Amino acid sequence: MKTAVSSAKVAPWSLVFSDFKEITKARLAISVVFSSLAGYLLAPVTFDIVSLLLLAFGGYCMVGASNAYNQIIEKDLDVLMNRTKNRPVPSGRMSVHKALTIAIVLTVLGIVSLYFLNAKTAMFGAISIFLYTSVYTPLKTITPLAVFVGAFPGAIPFMLGWVAATNEFGIEPGTLFMIQFFWQFPHFWALGWMLDDDYKKGGFKMLPTGKKDTGTIVQIIMYTIWMMVISIIPVFGITGDLNLSIPAAIIIFAMGLVMLFFAFRLYDNRDNPSAKKLMLASVSYITLMQIVYVVDKFI
């Protein structure tokens, strides 16, 4: 009997935790926190563990809040798509009231946590939530330019860490912002290519031409090339305190070539498996690139 009672108690809590992870998109939020911490470690300051914890906690809250607002706004569209119909709100497991409460609490906790670091960090965090929920989300069903708008809040985390450490916004965090800004286009368009049929069920316009055509792939290739160039700009010594050694630049450029290779494979094959490989390559690129930057600073 005790075992049965224990199982009954555990199941609801595990479901609540699972729904919380899903409404905040925990995997995405953790990757964003990783980017923020990488940006913090690149700054020319002595880091302290309290600041890192505040940045990690505040960053997760801000991303989690954005995703919760997004799922509330899109609940009627999410139910139309296979990929999203089982999310907590469209599936009915979580009420809109509860989801909105989570979003508001996370917003307050996130802004307050980031404000303890400095006001600029809190401001950029708040701008990120506003752009994601109030501009990017509504535009997704109106125009493919939504991806361009969404790239702004998506590019903030890498630079946010630098701003959190230094309380300054200049060429260094601006460069970090641009790297992640250009990276998002091949990443999201590869994802959009894979999920095009599902996105169309919800009325989302995610591909730049609206179709899985040559124009979309050419733009993927061009943005990948721009990403590669901007990612190694610090090696030329023109980005202030943000530096990159020649060996590190070669490694990052080589990783970019791998991504470019998969972009050309998509051009040749025009199929979902090729788009998936490009998407996975882009995820590997952004993570490894940030690791290379941080390791290069400390060796």
How would residue 10 be classed by pLDDT, with cut points 50, 70 and 90? Answer: very low
The Cα–Cα gap between 192 and 205 comes to 9
How would residue 4 be classed by pLDDT, with cut points 50, 70 and 90? Answer: very low
Shared domain for 135 and 231, answered yes or no, is no
Helices (H), ranges, the chain: 2-23, 26-42, 49-73, 75-78, 96-117, 119-130, 137-139, 146-166, 171-194, 196-202, 214-231, 246-269, 272-298
Summarize pLDDT for 98-134 with one digit per residue, the tens.
Answer: 999 999 999 999 999 999 999 999 999 999 999 999 9
What is the reported pLDDT for 3?
45
pTM of the predicted structure, to 2 decimals: 0.91
Per the domain annotation, does 6 fall within a domain?
no
What is the reported pLDDT for 15?
79
pLDDT, mean over the chain: 93
**Please, are residues 28 and 283 in contact by the beta-carbon 8 Å criterion?**
no
Out of 139, 169, 199, a domain closes at: 169
**Domain containing 136 — which CATH number?**
1.10.357.140
Shared domain for 63 and 138, answered yes or no, is yes
Confidence check: pLDDT of 2 > 70: no
Shared domain for 27 and 160, answered yes or no, is yes
Residue 205 region, left (φ>0) first, then alpha (ψ -120 to 50), else beta? beta
What is the reported pLDDT for 12?
72
Confidence check: pLDDT of 182 > 80: yes
Shared domain for 75 and 158, answered yes or no, is yes
* DSSP characters over 128-172: HHHIIIIIIHHHTTT-TTHHHHHHHHHHHHHHHHHHHHHS--SHH
Per the domain annotation, does 292 fall within a domain?
yes
Shared domain for 151 and 210, answered yes or no, is no
Q: Residue 230: give the domain boundaries.
A: 170-299
Summarize pLDDT for 247-287 with one digit per residue, the tens.
Answer: 999 999 999 999 999 999 999 999 999 999 999 999 999 99
Would you state the structure tokens that stand for residue 297, as one six-digit string? 């600073």
Per the domain annotation, does 2 fall within a domain?
no
Would you state the structure tokens that stand for residue 39, as one six-digit string? 């940006």
Shared domain for 110 and 180, answered yes or no, is no
Shared domain for 194 and 261, answered yes or no, is yes
Out of 114, 143, 169, a domain closes at: 169
**Please, are residues 76 and 189 in contact by the beta-carbon 8 Å criterion?**
no
Summarize pLDDT for 191-217 with one digit per residue, the tens.
Answer: 999 999 999 999 999 999 999 999 999
Report the percent of the chain where pLDDT is more than 70: 96
Out of 115, 149, 169, a domain closes at: 169
Shared domain for 128 and 104, answered yes or no, is yes
Half-sphere exposure in the Cβ direction for 199 (13 Å, CA): 21
Per the domain annotation, does 7 fall within a domain?
no
Residue corresponding to tokens 């090339």: 225
Number of independent structural domains in the chain: 2
